Each structure stands twice: as C-alpha cells, then as structure tokens.
Homo-oligomer: A and B are copies of this chain.
Amino acid sequence: MPPVTKPIAIIAGAGPGTGAALARRFAQKYPVVLLARSSSTLDPLVHEINRSGGSALGIPANVAHADQLFSSLTQIRDHFGSEPHVAAAIFNVASKFTRNSFLENQPDFLDSLEATARGASNFARAVLPLLLRQADDTEGYPPTLIFTGATAALKGGSGLGSFAMSKFAVRALAQSLAREFGPKGVHVAHAIIDGVIASDKTKEYLSDRPDAKIDPRGIAEAYWFLHTQSRSAFTHEIDLRPYCETW
C-alpha cells in the first residue's frame, strides 16, 4: 500500500501583509510552500511558521518566469515526494499599482498586465494538475485555487488603465478556470479586495480607525472559508471591504 500523501498548500505572493496572513492560516492545517520574489521577505515568515509548529518551505521565485516557477515545482517534489497533492493554491501576487495620466511617457504601461497575467496563468498551469489529483480525495476539503483581485477588476478608473487591465485579465482567467475545472472538482474562486490593507506601509493612513483598513487576517479567514466549502455549494466570487468603505 502506497504511503498516504499529505496534501500541501502553495501560496504565490507570500509577501508581508496578506501573503503572510494567508501562509499562517493555511499552515494551521497544511504544510505550506511559500513563493515570493525575494528570500528576505520569505525567510522570517518561514522561520516563524516552522518555529510555531507549522511546516513551511520558502522558495524565492518570480512566478511570471515560467522557468523559475517550474524549478520551484522541482523543489516541491524533492521535498514532498514525486506526486504532491495540493489542497489549496493561492495566487496573491500584487499587480503594480500606478495612477498616471495615460499620455505620460509610460514605457512600462503593460508590464503590470504581462507580469500578472503571465504569473497567474503560469501558476494555474503548474498547480492545476496537482489540485486535480486531490479532487478524488473524498476525505479532505475540495482542492481550491484562489486568485486575489481588487475593485479594479470590476471597474477601470482614470489613470488606472495599467492596473485595471491586469486585474480584469486575472478575473477573466479565474472565471474561465472555474467553469472548466469546477465540474472536475476543483474550486476556483476570485476575491475582490476593496480597500486599503492594514500593513506597515499603510499604518499612518486612517491610524485612528484601525478597522477602516482591511485586516489581512480577515482576508485569510475568507480564503480559508472558501477552501472549506463543500462542492455542493462553491462560491466563485467574494468581495471584502471595511465596514466604512464607500463603494
């Protein structure tokens, strides 16, 4: 009898803030693989999780580069066995937010779209076979692929074309994958994060009203909830915003 493979969770974009909160939440149940561009971001988080009883593997990688992503997969196989099962995969890579007049010289106008779209599709292509493997496991939660989105996934804005194009594109991918892989038992979801996320960078902003910013732990709880949904009642899209946000 082959050894039971313990499923893992993979989080791309495991930076401080949302990424770290997601890592901590999913590490309560699964070994987590954390992908981020720089190891300086990853290392403290990996240590923290490993020290507090979880299991984390940090792999510095830019998922928009297929070769880096696929070499990550090799490391995952080296670590977790040749046929890892993935219970949850989260694409949380930030798109570069800029607000510029469209006619300013912006040679990098499409960079955000390309990096995000390429990152999201590379990531989906890498993890879906591993999620499908988990779909037959009737014990666990249905395997889940979640994309982090933003209000700009629903609505363009003056000066926001670059950012909105990348967020719209990821939403298109998430919808398309949900319709293809839902019937195969993989839960594909998209989260609209609407508001400023509380973090070290934003601590000055609305500092007198702490819950006017989104607590990353609230995002993590929502993603965890999505992951636990039975396949008889999957949510595809969820919005998250502070109680006082105007929308």
Q: Are B172 and A164 in contact (CB under 8 A)?
A: yes
Q: How far is the CA of A24 from the CA of B217 in the complex (A)?
A: 27
How many copies, total? 4
Interface size on A, residues (CB 8 A): 77
Contact check: which of B167, B179, B214, B245 meets A157 at CB < 8 Å? B179
| A103 nearest in chain B by CB position | B128
Known: A113-B169, A165-B172. A243 touches B234 (CB 8 A): yes
**Minimal beta-carbon separation of A186 from chain B (angstroms):** 8
**Minimal beta-carbon separation of A14 from chain B (angstroms):** 19
Q: How far is the CA of A234 from the CA of B222 in the complex (A)?
A: 10
Known: A155-B175, A161-B172, A179-B156. A215 touches B233 (CB 8 A): yes
Identify 5 residue pairs between A and B in the complex whose beta-carbon atoms are under 8 Å apart, listed by A's number.
A164-B172, A166-B169, A182-B245, A215-B230, A215-B233
